């Protein structure tokens, strides 16, 4: 066998850049060492320690001469064994996984640089965790584009929120396996599952999270270059979204805020004017802002920009005819944000931090409007509760009806109203009364069968006059609330029958 590979000493690596440092400087307050340019850029933005996250009182940095001399000696020594490097970037062994721990299943997608598989990652006891694995085909650790994606994913995993998390990498006979956290679906699939577009409040929430991800990537001078709904993943458990697929992304030098791509990069429907035909100054982070506008437009309308046009037609419309995507079909609350994203001059487009602030303001207004409809629904429900309770006390069973069956009918609408209102005290009170009239399990069975449809029809009818864009969302939430309460009633009935 060959000699063991020599690992780059951990102390030589900048925690921000994940590169061997050339000009190491110590953050005096915490004692941690970073590449000078990287820590200076971080402190200008955040005033926190990148490792501990604590707020700094003293942001002074000083040269670490001893470490710098040790790094110089190390580099000049020329390692005797092969390192996994590209362009001076080393992959620490902490990221490397053993091949036998990864079980590939079927292919689930195709990324810019490789195929994505459903897979399992086995722990030391052989217990599996569901993951996604991207196979980067080619000669392992020699292709700059492969190494660029791995490097950026490592950095984003450590430093950025709402970015797809890299769990590790592995050598395979066909190429490199990138093991990542598995999410439920991409944003385009979520839109399709929701009927094409997303409700305004959901759009706003996800858009803010995308802005936060992009702001953190831009803080590292990373340009995504292919931001679109298919490259944004949704997680059901957190109801959050995460930017993924950095295969075409680029990191610019900290001193240079632009780069000149050798070819058109990205997906035509989301490409900015300057990315189609880079100016003399090159492409900047503002190209991602245009792509974000296209993404928000698609989320809120269900249709991608330039949907019916071919690539050449899109390029002519954007570059020669100076057209921008049509925002008229998007909710009016989003129009100012979209128009800012689609400014022809990149300098005039807002930053992602500014976009996030604007969208938070939009979110507050949308929630106020939506809450007013929930308040209306609750008012209707409380009226139904009173009417049902009164009816239960005044009516008597008809011929051939048992008392319990009649009581169920009388209480049906009242209990539905109580659950719709989602008031725990009311629900508890009514379940208490139920014990003396009918069996709780019988009531719950009927409630689950008929109740959800009844409340949807009732509330929809009462809200029709308002022509609300939130109507469907209100009804869906009311149905979910009611069924959750029904489960609690069922649990209560089991307990009370003991």
List the structure tokens of 20: 């061997």
- Provide the pLDDT for residue 176: 86
Query: Under a CB-based contact definition with an 8 Å cutoff, are residues 384 and 414 in contact?
Result: yes
Q: Return d(Cα 301, Cα 327) in angstroms, integer.
A: 9
End-to-end CA distance of the chain: 69
Dihedral pair phi/psi, residue 107, rounded to 5°:
-70, 140
More reliable by pLDDT, 289 or 138: 289
Helix (H) or strand (E) holding 382: helix 352-394
Q: Return d(Cα 183, Cα 177) in angstroms, integer.
A: 17
Residue 87 DSSP label: T
CA-closest candidate to residue 239, choices 208, 216, 218: 208
Helix (H) or strand (E) holding 361: helix 352-394
Which residue has 């189609």 as its token pair?
A: 276
Q: Return d(Cα 487, Cα 496) in angstroms, integer.
A: 14
Q: Return d(Cα 349, Cα 77) in angstroms, integer.
A: 48
Q: Return d(Cα 288, Cα 267) in angstroms, integer.
A: 12
Q: Return d(Cα 384, Cα 458) in angstroms, integer.
A: 10
Domain ranges, ordered by start, for the chain: 10-83, 94-181, 185-350, 368-496
Query: Under a CB-based contact definition with an 8 Å cutoff, are residues 224 and 127 in contact?
Result: no
Predicted TM-score (pTM) of this structure: 0.61
Q: Return d(Cα 340, Cα 289) in angstroms, integer.
A: 9
Q: Return d(Cα 481, Cα 311) in angstroms, integer.
A: 46
Average pLDDT on 490-494 reads 47
The 10s digit of each residue's pLDDT in 228-241 is: 999 999 998 888 99
In CATH terms, the superfamily for domain 94-181 is Phosphorylase Kinase; domain 1 (3.30.200.20)
Q: Band of the pLDDT at 6, cuts 50, 70, 90?
A: low
- Provide the pLDDT for residue 387: 46
Dihedral pair phi/psi, residue 53, rounded to 5°:
80, 0
Look at residue 180 and give its three-state secondary structure.
strand
The string of DSSP codes covering 411-480 is HHHHHHHHHHHT-HHHHHHHHHHHTTTS-HHHHHHHIIIIIHHHHHHHHHHHHGGGT-TTHHHHHHHHHH
List the structure tokens of 440: 């709780």
Domain 10-83 has CATH 3.30.40.10: yes
Average pLDDT on 208-228 reads 91
Q: Is the pLDDT of residue 496 over 70?
A: no
- Provide the pLDDT for residue 435: 37
278: left (phi over 0), alpha (psi -120 to 50) or beta: beta
Q: Return d(Cα 471, Cα 476) in angstroms, integer.
A: 9
- Provide the pLDDT for residue 259: 66
Count Cβ atoms within 10 A of the Cβ of residue 142 and give its class: 0-12 exposed, 13-18 middle, 19 or more buried: exposed
CA-closest candidate to residue 89, choices 137, 152, 41, 40: 152
Query: Under a CB-based contact definition with an 8 Å cutoff, are residues 102 and 179 in contact?
Result: yes
The 10s digit of each residue's pLDDT in 389-436 is: 444 444 443 444 433 333 333 344 444 444 444 333 333 344 443 333
- Provide the pLDDT for residue 342: 96
Q: Return d(Cα 242, Cα 230) in angstroms, integer.
A: 11
Q: Return d(Cα 217, Cα 55) in angstroms, integer.
A: 21
Write down the number of H helices and E strands in the chain.
15, 15
Look at residue 117 and give its three-state secondary structure.
strand
More reliable by pLDDT, 135 or 384: 135
Query: Under a CB-based contact definition with an 8 Å cutoff, are residues 26 and 32 in contact?
Result: yes
User: Sign of dihedral through CA atoms 46, 155, 357, 54?
Assistant: negative
User: Sign of dihedral through CA atoms 147, 152, 153, 158?
Assistant: positive
Domain 185-350 has CATH 1.10.510.10: yes
Q: Among 43-57, 345-359, 395-409, 484-498, whose mean pLDDT is lowest?
A: 395-409
Q: Band of the pLDDT at 93, cuts 50, 70, 90?
A: low
- Provide the pLDDT for residue 446: 45
Look at residue 176 and give its three-state secondary structure.
strand
Query: Under a CB-based contact definition with an 8 Å cutoff, are residues 168 and 96 in contact?
Result: yes
Dihedral pair phi/psi, residue 144, rounded to 5°:
-55, -40
Query: Under a CB-based contact definition with an 8 Å cutoff, are residues 306 and 269 in contact?
Result: yes
């Amino acid at each position: 066998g060959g000699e063991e590979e020599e690992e780059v000493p951990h102390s030589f690596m900048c925690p921000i850049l994940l590169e061997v440092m050339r000009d190491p400087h110590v953050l005096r307050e915490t004692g941690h060492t970073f590449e000078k340019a990287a820590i200076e850029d971080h402190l200008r933005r955040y005033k926190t320690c990148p490792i501990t996250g604590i707020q700094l009182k003293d942001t002074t940095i000083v040269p670490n001469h001893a470490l710098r001399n040790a790094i110089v000696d190390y580099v000049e020594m020329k390692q005797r064994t092969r390192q996994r490097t590209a362009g001076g970037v080393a992959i620490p062994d902490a990221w490397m996984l053993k091949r036998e721990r990864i079980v590939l299943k079927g292919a689930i997608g195709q990324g810019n640089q490789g195929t994505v598989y459903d897979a399992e990652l086995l722990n030391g006891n052989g217990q599996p965790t569901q993951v996604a694995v991207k196979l980067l085909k080619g000669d392992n650790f020699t292709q700059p584009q492969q190494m660029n994606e791995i490097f950026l994913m490592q950095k984003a995993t450590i430093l950025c929120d709402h970015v797809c998390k890299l769990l590790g990498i592995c050598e395979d006979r066909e190429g490199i396996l990138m093991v990542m956290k598995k999410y439920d679906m991409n944003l385009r699939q979520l839109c399709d599952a929701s009927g094409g577009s997303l409700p305004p409040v959901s759009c706003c929430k996800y858009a803010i999270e995308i802005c936060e991800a992009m702001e953190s990537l831009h803080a590292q001078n990373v340009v995504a270059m292919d931001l679109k709904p298919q490259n944004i993943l949704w997680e059901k458990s957190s109801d959050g979204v995460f930017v993924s697929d950095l295969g075409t992304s680029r990191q610019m030098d900290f001193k240079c805020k632009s780069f000149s791509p050798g070819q058109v990069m990205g997906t035509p429907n989301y490409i900015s004017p300057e990315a189609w035909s880079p100016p003399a100054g090159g492409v900047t982070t503002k190209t991602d802002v245009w792509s974000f506008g296209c993404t928000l437009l698609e989320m809120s309308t269900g249709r991608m920009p330039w949907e019916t046009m071919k690539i050449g037609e899109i390029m002519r419309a954007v570059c020669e005819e100076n057209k921008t995507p049509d925002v008229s079909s998007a909710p009016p609350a989003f129009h100012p944000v979209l128009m800012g994203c689609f400014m022809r001059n990149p300098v005039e487009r807002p930053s992602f931090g500014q976009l996030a602030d604007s969208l938070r303001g939009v979110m507050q207004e949308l929630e106020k409007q939506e809450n007013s409809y929930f308040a209306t629904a609750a008012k209707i429900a409380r009226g139904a509760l009173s009417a049902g309770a009164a009816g239960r006390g005044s009516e008597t069973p008809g011929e051939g009806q048992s008392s319990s069956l009649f009581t169920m009918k009388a209480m049906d609408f009242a209990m539905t109203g109580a659950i719709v209102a989602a008031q725990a005290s009311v629900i508890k009170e009514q379940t208490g009364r139920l014990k003396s009239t009918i069996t709780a399990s019988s009531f719950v069975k009927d409630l689950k069968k008929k109740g959800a449809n009844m409340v949807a029809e009732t509330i929809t009818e009462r809200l029709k006059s308002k022509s609300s864009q939130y109507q469907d969302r209100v009804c869906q939430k009311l149905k979910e609330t009611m069924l959750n309460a029904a489960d609690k009633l069922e649990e209560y009935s089991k307990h009370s029958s003991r």
